[in-house]
Amino acid sequence: MALVQLPGMVGRELGSSEGLRVVELNIGAQHPASGHMRLIVYLDGDVIVRVDPDIGYVHRTVEKLAEGREYVRIISLVERMTIIDACNVTLPYVEAVERLLGVEPPPRARYLRTILCEVNRIASHLYGLGIGGIFLNHSTMYMWAFGDREVFIHLASLLTGSRLTHTYPVFGGVRRDLPQVFREEFEKAKRYMLRRLREYDKVFFNNPVIRGRLEGVGVMTAKQAVALGATGPNLRASGVRYDARMTGYAAYGELDFEPVVGSEGDALERVWVRLREIEASLELIDRALRGLPEGPFMAEKFTKTVPPAVRHWLGKGRLKLPGSYVRLKTRPGEVLGRGEMGRGEITYYLVSDGGMKPYRLRIVTPSARNVVLFDALARGHTLMDLPAIYGSIDYFPPEADR
Amino acid sequence: MLERSVDRRRGGHRSRPNVVKAHLDAIATAAKRLLEPPITLPYPDYMEARPPGYRGVILFHYEKCIGCSLCAQICPARAIKMYRVPGDKRLRPGYNVGRCIFCGLCVDICPVDALSESLVHDKVYEDVPSMDMDPVDWALWSRRVMDEERSPEKPLLRARLDPERGIVYEEAQPASSGGEG
Amino acid sequence: MDPLAWLASALGLPRWALRAVAAPLVYPGLLTFMAVALFVIWAERKMAARVQMRVGPLYVSRRLGGALQLLADGIRFAFQEIIVPVGAEKWSFILSPILAFTVASLAFTMVPGGPGVYGFRSSLSLIAAYAILSLVPILVIIMGWASNNKFTYIGAGREALVAVTGEATLLASMLAAAMMYGSMDFVSIVEEQARSHVPGIVANPVAALLFFIAALLVTDRVPFDLVMGEQEIVQGPYTEYTGILYALVMALDYLKLYVLMLMFTHLFLAGWAPFSDPLLGSVWVFAKTLALMLFAVFLRSVYGRMRLDQVASMFWSRLFPLALTAFALSALIHPVYAQP
């Protein structure tokens, strides 16, 4: 570590007693608002001069574990980085492997993936809003967001049979067809959520106390955001029109996807972009449900070898896999999978040597990219602004630590 | 010298609501909620009736198994292992419910419907060894789980969406997962 | 017959001596406060739960809707081990919460609970009650210092800021009210309002609003709960406390809130008027105080926490100057209450 050059302090590496002006405060790992991490905050009076995020408390060696597993078993492994955003985190991986396998998912599967991705995105944004709320001690926003998130978890469990860890997209398609009740239930969820967003406005976003906490805090200009490599809503809040969904993976290319872009780049704008993305996602799901093509939800390549004894399940909207699915072999090569998660862009770099297991799976998660923002945005603010900045970045330690 | 002046740039074109109205709005919105019922599932007294197709604990139907071991191969958590059962020529799967992540891939790959998903998710075990079941244990346990599905200990509530109240729980009749295949 | 008078004659004690003991200990003092705290904290949690689509405390005494939850918590705190951190200043650490609680409850000798229900009647009872309450922050700062922990230091610093900021406005609004009535005695303040049939909140709404907001700040209520600021400084000066000492420091803010709302009732809501019967008057005062406390705790489910500098600038540059308006208003209104 380089010498710490702090104003009013000779670096503590020098062991000087003159450094007493700056207080070193450990926020975490046991702290009500730290999450699975530690923030080492250097304070001059009440002003933050530096923040060192100490990450890695929930590191689970996902990349290394992936090297020892067959492709299909990795889906539910990478899902565990962000179980609250399960479809978004697995989809780029599944699409990357599909490209190596040379399998094209049928259009219906691509639409169903999009629908679940957006349901997950709403749930993930609500989670972020809730945590952002409790960081400002606004317990009502916290409970409301978590209570309303339950609506979207319910929708996801209707579609996939699981509340959080859906393992829904698999190579060649998806695991369940759209159930009959989904459209009707989604219609209700949409109406409910749009009404609730107005209530969020009244209690949280237009609340003068919250406005004061978020407005003008942690301002990030577009230039800074790009230089720091920020991603997701944090990047778009600074006015940069970039979203991995613009590449048109899954069915986004056919749904006239338009990213939500903010302008001010402060904490309020970051939270606001998430709020407007919830609306945009509701609209996207609506469009995807209306344009949902008929047809199979799994590629012909795999369904044709399903044993005849269990074929009847496919007609009932349930997937049956052929035995060869466990030991899929890809062609040797390198492939890059990109996708937009709730918190930003996730990148998988997959190297295959032609075997049943990947040679290397490199994962860059959005939270891993956003962790630099702690130091960049918090400097010069007071200690009380730190939770506001943390909440507005929507940082998720398990995702960053992998 | 420390740079103390933070760029507190004000939102240029952001609409600022009237402060008094905003305070009153916030208080009124919260106060209105005082009269509305909670959305909580009264959990230990009631259980949630899982929606059809829910992926609960895995059930094993011994008589249908052909011992192909695909389930053990696909299991991402290594919750299913193959066992040698006395008096049986083939290997049969055993199940560690403590390791299970309820992904249901084993059910998807089973070529003969010997495995199925139940609607039961919440099971309590007194110790860790009893969570690790050999094939015979698993098959017997599966029957008990199916009985439990049909006649649950606690009354069931089913979640339903409502455009006014979000999630609503209402009384439900026990449904079967169709575990028999 | 007055029960107090009967008791006094039975014990052969002068009436004032019995009153001076009964007021701080029974009503409006500690015993009543304990019931109030049990109810208000339960109501706070229950109201927040309702707003937040939850159930709130329920399983302790189901039939009462979980009302005895606080009692259960209190019993648990009472038997919990008290841990004194190694680096802490032992005696200050243990004594300051006890002393703070004792000092705060002394205010009940001055604040009446109804017509004729008070410890001492003095022509300066308003300012005396305030003086007693303003000793508490010093003891809280000692708690923070004695705990010897960075979070408690920061919390103690915040307590100092909050005490100075909040009490300036609190005192100003209180004095504006006193000026309006031309008295610093709670009893004559209430009598003035009863006589003129104009409650203080109508005569001088500015002072009433300022008093209420400043009371929220000094009692650490949302949106001004800076001292406990959980998301930044864990529990502020109280971080290291455990067991019964923790229960005491948690109750401290509610005790202050109770006293201040009692004072608000007398200053701006005409106290026990129009009743002059000790029992009816006391019930009326108590009901108003409780309603005020319930509104104060309800704000927890509406607001988040304001930032330190925003609180300071709001109080010093907006509310404190507003207190001068309250003084001007009092001077104008004064003839309404002036004795003929």
| pLDDT higher than 60, residue B181 | no
| pLDDT higher than 60, residue B117 | yes
**pLDDT, mean of residues C294-303:** 90
pLDDT given for residue B5 in this prediction: 40
CB spacing of C304 vs A384 below 8 angstroms? no
| Sheet hosting strand A360-364, strand order edge to edge | A333-341, A344-352, A360-364
More confident residue, A121 or A8: A121
More confident residue, A28 or A77: A77
pLDDT band at C67 (very low <50, low <70, confident <90, very high): confident
pLDDT, tens only, C299-338:
888 888 888 888 888 899 889 889 888 888 888 887 777 7
Q: Where are the beta strands (DSSP E) in B18-135?
A: 47-49, 58-60, 80-84, 91-96, 115-117, 132-133
| pLDDT higher than 90, residue A125 | yes
| pLDDT higher than 70, residue B179 | no
**pLDDT, mean of residues A260-269:** 87
- Flag whether residue A321 sits within 8 Å of chain B, measured between CB atoms: yes
| pLDDT higher than 90, residue A122 | yes
| Chain A from 198 to 227: CB within 8 A of any B CB | 199, 202-203, 206-208, 211, 215-217, 219
CB spacing of B74 vs A326 below 8 angstroms? yes
- Flag whether residue A400 sits within 8 Å of chain B, measured between CB atoms: no
**pLDDT, mean of residues C88-100:** 89
pLDDT band at B176 (very low <50, low <70, confident <90, very high): low
State the Cα–Cα distance between residues C107 and A139, nearest whole angstrom: 32
pLDDT band at C3 (very low <50, low <70, confident <90, very high): low
Q: Are C294 and C40 in contact (CB under 8 A)?
A: yes
Task: Say if domain B52-150 classifies as CATH 2.60.120.260.
Answer: no
- Flag whether residue A140 sits within 8 Å of chain B, measured between CB atoms: yes
The percent of residues in chain A predicted with pLDDT above 70, rounded, is 95
Identify the residue among B1, B5, B6 best suited for mutation to test binding to A, counting A beta carbons within 10 A and taking the highest.
Answer: B6
pLDDT given for residue C293 in this prediction: 92
Structural domain for A154, as ranges: 62-401
Lowest mean pLDDT among A112-126, B21-35, B142-156, C6-20: C6-20
**pLDDT, mean of residues B87-106:** 89
CB spacing of C50 vs B39 below 8 angstroms? no
Domain boundaries, chain C: 85-337
| Cβ neighbours of A219 in B, within 8 Å | 7-9
State the Cα–Cα distance between residues C221 and C219, nearest whole angstrom: 6
Residue A36 resides in a domain = no
Helix extents (H) in A136-200: 139-160, 182-200
Q: Are C89 and C97 in contact (CB under 8 A)?
A: no
| Sheet hosting strand B80-84, strand order edge to edge | B80-84, B91-96, B132-133
**pLDDT, mean of residues B147-175:** 83
**pLDDT, mean of residues B80-92:** 88
Residue A1 resides in a domain = no
pLDDT given for residue C215 in this prediction: 92
pLDDT given for residue C2 in this prediction: 63
Place of tokens 């007071």: A382
| Cβ neighbours of B106 in A, within 8 Å | none
Lowest mean pLDDT among B3-12, B25-34, B65-74: B3-12
Residue A23 resides in a domain = no
| pLDDT higher than 90, residue A47 | no
Angle, in degrees to the nearest 10, between helices C30-51 and C278-298: 40
The dihedral of CA A58, A59, A63, A65: what is its sign? negative
CA of C7: how far to CAs of B137, C15, C31, C117, in Å? 76, 9, 18, 14
Q: Are A87 and A168 in contact (CB under 8 A)?
A: yes
Determine the distance in angstroms separating the CA of A302 from the nearest CA of chain C, rounded to an integer.
Answer: 46
pLDDT, tens only, A281-331:
999 999 899 988 888 888 888 888 888 888 888 888 888 888 888 888 888
For residue B74, the chain A residue with the least C-alpha distance is: A326
pLDDT given for residue A124 in this prediction: 92
pLDDT, tens only, A361-386:
999 999 988 988 888 888 888 888 88
CA of B29: how far to CAs of A142, C23, C270, in Å? 15, 40, 30
Q: What are phi and psi of C10, to 5 degrees?
A: -65, -35
| pLDDT higher than 90, residue A349 | yes
Which among B8, B117, B161 has CB closest to A189? B161
pLDDT band at A92 (very low <50, low <70, confident <90, very high): very high
The percent of residues in chain C predicted with pLDDT above 70, rounded, is 98
State the Cα–Cα distance between residues B181 and B170, nearest whole angstrom: 28
**pLDDT, mean of residues A214-224:** 87
| pLDDT higher than 70, residue A17 | no
**pLDDT, mean of residues B122-143:** 87
**Exposed, middle or buried, A17 (CB in 10 Å: 0-12/13-18/19+)?**
exposed
More confident residue, B152 or B9: B152
Identify the residue among B55, B122, B160, B168 best suited for mutation to test binding to A, counting A beta carbons within 10 A and taking the highest.
Answer: B55
This complex has an ipTM of: 0.84
CB atoms under 10 Å from CB of A331, counted, come to 11
State the Cα–Cα distance between residues C220 and C214, nearest whole angstrom: 10
pLDDT given for residue B169 in this prediction: 87
CB spacing of C51 vs A140 below 8 angstroms? yes
Determine the distance in angstroms separating the CA of C56 from the nearest CA of chain B, rounded to an integer.
Answer: 9
| pLDDT higher than 60, residue A39 | yes
CB spacing of A323 vs B161 below 8 angstroms? no
pLDDT given for residue C340 in this prediction: 52
State the Cα–Cα distance between residues A57 and C151, nearest whole angstrom: 23
State the Cα–Cα distance between residues A271 and A168, nearest whole angstrom: 28
| Cβ neighbours of C52 in B, within 8 Å | 33
Q: Name the DSSP class of B121.
A: -
Q: Extract the tokens encoding C314.
A: 């709001």
pLDDT given for residue A118 in this prediction: 92
Q: What is the pTM of this model?
A: 0.88
Number of domains in chain A: 1
| pLDDT higher than 50, residue B9 | no
The overall average pLDDT reported for chain B is 82
CB atoms under 10 Å from CB of C12, counted, come to 6
Place of tokens 């927890």: C300
Domain boundaries, chain B: 52-150
pLDDT band at C4 (very low <50, low <70, confident <90, very high): low
More confident residue, A2 or B41: B41
Which among A143, A213, A383 has CB closest to C52? A143
State the Cα–Cα distance between residues A341 and A358, nearest whole angstrom: 23
The percent of residues in chain B predicted with pLDDT above 90, rounded, is 6
For chain C, the residues whose C-beta falls within 8 A of a C-beta of chain A are 48, 51-54, 150-151, 154, 222-223, 225, 229-234, 300-310
CB atoms under 10 Å from CB of C102, counted, come to 14
pLDDT given for residue A114 in this prediction: 92
pLDDT, tens only, A174-187:
988 888 889 999 99
pLDDT band at A153 (very low <50, low <70, confident <90, very high): very high
Q: Give all chains having 3 or more CB-to-CB distances under 8 Å with chain B.
A: A, C
pLDDT given for residue B12 in this prediction: 47
For chain A, the residues whose C-beta falls within 8 A of a C-beta of chain C are 23, 25, 27, 31-33, 46, 133-144, 147, 203, 207, 209-210, 212-213, 382-387
pLDDT, tens only, B14-55:
677 788 888 888 888 888 888 888 888 888 888 888 888 888
Domain holding A338: CATH number?
Answer: 1.10.645.10
Identify the residue among B80, B161, B167 best suited for mutation to test binding to A, counting A beta carbons within 10 A and taking the highest.
Answer: B161
pLDDT, tens only, C182-214:
888 888 888 888 888 888 888 888 889 999 999
| pLDDT higher than 90, residue A126 | yes
For residue A204, the chain C residue with the least C-alpha distance is: C303
Residue A124 resides in a domain = yes
